[in-house]
Amino acid sequence: MEKSIVLKAREVVKTYGKKENTFVALKGVSLAIKEGESVAIIGKSGSGKSTLMHILAALDRPDSGELEFNGKDVETFKDRDLDKLRNHDFGFIFQQFFLNYRETVLENVMLPLKIAGVSGRDRKKRAMEAMAEVDLTNKAGNKASDLSGGQKQRVCIARALVTSPKVIFADEPTGNLDSENG
């Protein structure tokens, strides 16, 4: 059975700066990502990889071009719909961890579920399951500030998985992991 296209970009353009200082980060980028497909975007530093990821994840808007999620034009989404899309359908793993260092590992992993309105008991169960997938259940009560770089990265991976998203956006997700966990 043919897998459906989950995310589609057509002729996406993104520029930064003005006049003689204009930098074209993306010039007419088109791609389609099917359900279950793994896609790696590679290129040298400054080639627009992160810009493309931010646009595909609806964290930024293109100057021109189209972006569709499950056949729907993302440009037509209201802010509330974009928030829901990013919370329910997308998971994020960034180079910078974006953890709340005053919170525990468990609280950091539960955050997307809390935002989604999932009950406390179900939040904890699902977060512990996601943490088990990255071998972190023994760190559930630790503050995020007390973890190694690799452990922090695994918290981010668990947080990205906890909502069972349709798409996971990962910007160098294994950069801080050792060979056993990467």
Query: Exposed, middle or buried, 141 (CB in 10 Å: 0-12/13-18/19+)?
Result: exposed
* 23-34 mean pLDDT: 95
Cα dihedral across residues 102, 103, 109, 110: positive or negative = negative
Prediction pTM value: 0.83
Provide CB contacts within 8 A for 132, sequence distance 6+. Answer: none
Complete domains list, the chain, with CATH: 5-77 (3.40.50.300), 93-170 (no CATH)
Express each pLDDT in 136-160 by its tens digit: 999 999 999 999 999 999 999 999 9
Beta-carbon contacts of residue 178 (< 8 Å; ≥ 6 apart):
150
Q: What average pLDDT is seen over the chain? A: 91
- How much is the average pLDDT of 78-97? 90
Q: Would you tell me how many other CB atoms lie within 10 Å of the CB of residue 12?
A: 24
